[in-house]
Amino acid sequence: MANKVMTTAVRLYGKNDLRLESFELPEIREDEALFEVQTNSICMSSYKAAIQGGDHKRVPDNVSENPVIIGHEMCGIILEVGEKYKNKLKPGMKCTIQPAINYPGREHEAIGYSFPYFGGNATKGIIPREALEMDCVIPFQGESFYKISLAEPVACILAALKEQYHHKKDNKYEYEMGIVEGGNFAILGGAGPMGLAAVEILLNAERKPKLIVVTDIDNARLDRANKLFPKEITEAKGVRVLFINSSEVSNAEILKETNNRGFDDIFIFAPVKPIVKQASELLAYDGCMNFFAGPSDKNFSAEINFYDVHYNKHHIIGSVGSDSDDLKEAVELIDKNVIDPAIIVTHIGGLDSVSETILNLPKIPGGKKLIYTHISLPLTAIDDFEKLGEHNPLFKNLASIVAKTNGIWSKEAEDYLLANAKPIE
């Protein structure tokens, strides 16, 4: 790089210490690549990293002296490639990044947590040697960026579905991987973005359950979920989907929906003790409970019925992240329009809204918060576009665009935003 390359990025310096800064990137080496980030969706894992700082297992202990760029659900464009990888990557290629590098001996390091010059909440960054060596750069063909920013959370769900296991029929010593086809599936604490993404994936999977029950205690989230997955659509796919307020409906009533057999597969999307206990009570014989939501508390524990673990063959697992093969699968499903992750996006923002969004993420209602890294824009709910449009032509036009898709973010909306929003710099 003959000329200086500047970036503007949100860097983590310690607990609750996120800073939006502009700084010069070093020249790329032969085993690195220069990347222009276009979009990054905000993950609850970034919130956990931000509040824990150096205590987080993926964040360096010396983060206060060597800050890291936060964010890992990104996509963008390759700008320049080091000599070693010029036969594999080309300038102009659209790519997403597998954040879990799994580099030998440094398995806890990850994009968005551990690297000073690369992360999702930035205008530009340097893809590190480790990510290139471990094949973590995944090209895509689609025209829109926002969908591929959502590929990483989709990949995590795909990985979790593969990790489910059950005894093979009439064989108590061998297991079959994956969910029970035609079985009962529960998503607990699941009317948020990841839970709804799981519903979208299950409805379009080759191996489907016959029943999906999604529980939550937020009626607004449940109402939105019902609108996104109307009965005529889900039943046309051969699946019965129920959205239930678990604060108003007992476990006994939920079990009636399975003819009191219980659930073969359960995903826990909120690290809450009563939900873990509920999962234990709802699990069927030979059922598998997946503790998908990682807790911030290292001492988190919850009540589980070990009588059922012993006599009813209950399985308990945890699923963390995905690998490059999972991400490639997610990108392919999105590129081919098999699944549409746009349904989980509820807010749009610019790079200057990232710090506040991450630090307050549990308090902000709705689904995924999508960041366009080259623009300046407060985090804004899509549902608020119409009202804001009374005084702001940007939102007036965005409201008209998303009205065509029943309030769901779209490529037309993305193109308009990128062409008309105020640049971050």
pTM of the model: 0.89
Count how many residues are written for the chain: 425
Please classify residue 238 by burial: count the beta carbons closer than 10 Å to its beta carbon, then call 0-12 exposed, 13-18 middle and 19+ buried.
Answer: exposed
pLDDT of residue 171: 75
- In 3D space, the residue among 323, 310, 273 whose CA is nearest the CA of residue 293 turns out to be 273
CATH 3.40.50.720 intervals, the chain: 154-318
| Region 5-139: CATH code | 3.90.180.10
CATH 3.90.180.10 intervals, the chain: 5-139
pLDDT of residue 86: 94
Residue ranges in the chain whose pLDDT is less than 70:
1-2
pLDDT of residue 195: 93
pLDDT of residue 107: 83
Q: Which residue has the tokens 């991987």?
A: 177
Q: Residue 227, Cα to own-chain centre: how many angstroms? A: 21
pLDDT of residue 348: 98
pLDDT of residue 193: 87
- In 3D space, the residue among 258, 255, 199 whose CA is nearest the CA of residue 230 turns out to be 199
CATH of 154-318, one of 3.90.1150.10, 3.30.1360.120, 3.40.50.720, 3.40.50.1820: 3.40.50.720
203-217 pLDDT, tens digit each: 999 999 999 999 999
11-52 pLDDT, tens digit each: 999 999 999 999 999 999 999 999 999 999 999 999 999 999
Handedness of CA 246, 248, 252, 254 (dihedral sign): negative
